[in-house]
Amino acid sequence: MHILQMQIKQYWSLEDYLENKKRETMKKEILYFLVALLGGMLFGYDTAVINGAMPFFTAYFQLTDAMVGWSVSSGLLGCILGAAFASYPADRIGRRETMKIVAILFFLSSLGTAFATNFTLFVWARILGGIAVGIVSVTLPIYVSEITPPEKRGRSTINFQLGVVVGILLAFFVDYILLDTGEYNWRYMFLSMSLPALCFGGVLLKVSRSPRWLVSQKRIEEASKVLREQQPDQDINRLLQEIEQSLSSVSDRLPWQALFRKPYLKFMVIGLAVGVFSQLSGIAIVMYYATDIFRSAGFETDAAIGQTVIIGLTNLVFTLLAKSLIDRLGRRRLLLTGTMGMFVSLSLLTASYFVAGFPSWVLLLSLICFVACFASSMGAVSWVLLSEIFPNTIRSQGMSLGSLSNWMVNGTISFLFPIVAGAFDQGQKYCFLFFALSIFISYFFFRRYLFETKNKTLEEIEKENM
């Protein structure tokens, strides 16, 4: 009887232990989901909130077309600066600590744009927010990819992109509901970003460091603990050995020029192409200037801002679709299918400009289809690919350059779009024709050079493609 009681006690003790471990694992997964989601939200919110605010601060500061372009691209200049230098703090102080700094920058940018007394101060605050976006676009996908098991890495990293589209949608929605709050409605729009910035900083206080960064710093015990929390069913010693081996070939950061030589050249070309083509698609123009595009098509300002909410909802729904498919269909198939859909949608949009007689709803329909195809392919896949295709030794540097190429193209076309659109009769049509041709070219590039990465560890991807 005594032996039976002992066995029952041990059984229930084991059950309690397993239940506690399950709860701890679930808690960790929720925390990492929130980190990716909130970091992406701030990215999307910062880049999209200007859309609805633009007509109002343009009138307040009495801006010219070039100054309107600068109000958008100044933030993108900050993105370029942030992306260019993000790899340094990410490698020196770690991914998590770098993101804590980002949370502070987002908060300060929100206050700066909301309370700016002149256009110069407004621009400086936009640059500060852009720096935060540039850094988080590099650091957060790396962090998620390095701390997530291979079979979950695609959809976990898409949580970042999901956050981006949620942030964009939320910014569009907040802009819409704040329309009638008076002369300073645009100030409230920018100030609203401070709340998610505080939430992001709070969640970062609860999560672990990247295990691969810990190994690079020779903090093996800490790395082992984090890996055991994230992948309890794996051989942790084997994982540590693979990570150490992938890092052992280079003892320190490589000089930038070495990244464009063998064996790294292949990875860099693909990474830069992912960054460049994702912006040559014209998605940034839709997200920044959708209100003005709809207004030029004959919609009233209130209706135009309302249409952007539809665009944001489409972005969200099809990002969720991509999240459910990316680890089953793979990155390459999603990207190729969506790219062709984007080309067809933009071709229809361009035709509506060049051919007389198209009703205005064609513009809305083609933009919705374009955003749907982008969100379910290039929008979701780009940040996943950039976070996983680079070898461990150059991941932060490669990701930094890939993100930098993204933001440089983004900043250039965002600055030029209102100038080109205003310089020609229906100048928007030439911009969208250019974007359609760029997408067409990208399809053949990815079909020829892109390799699949689904369900492989970061070290396996490196070994198979070096």
Q: Crossing angle, helix 395-423 and helix 378-388, to 10 degrees?
A: 150
Distance CA 220, CA 125 (A): 40
**How many other C-beta atoms can be found within 10 angstroms of the C-beta atom of residue 79?**
31
DSSP SS3 for 231: coil
CA atoms within 13 A on the CB side of 406: 26
Cβ neighbors of 155 (< 8 A, separation 6 or more) are 323, 324, 326, 327
Gyration radius of the chain over CA positions = 23
- How many residues are present in the chain? 466
Q: What is the DSSP letter of 300?
A: -
The per-residue pLDDT for 416 is: 81
Q: Which residue has the tokens 């859909």?
A: 341
- Cα torsion angle, 207, 213, 215, 218, sign: negative
The per-residue pLDDT for 426 is: 64
pTM equals 0.74
Distance CA 147, CA 158 (A): 14
In single-letter form, the type of residue at position 363 comes to L
Cβ neighbors of 414 (< 8 A, separation 6 or more) are 69, 72, 73, 76, 284, 285, 288
The per-residue pLDDT for 249 is: 54
Are 112 and 124 a contacting pair, CB within 8 Å? Answer: yes
Residues of the chain with pLDDT under 50: 11, 17, 251
Q: What are phi and psi of 453, to 5 degrees?
A: -125, 0
Are 190 and 53 a contacting pair, CB within 8 Å? Answer: yes
The per-residue pLDDT for 252 is: 58
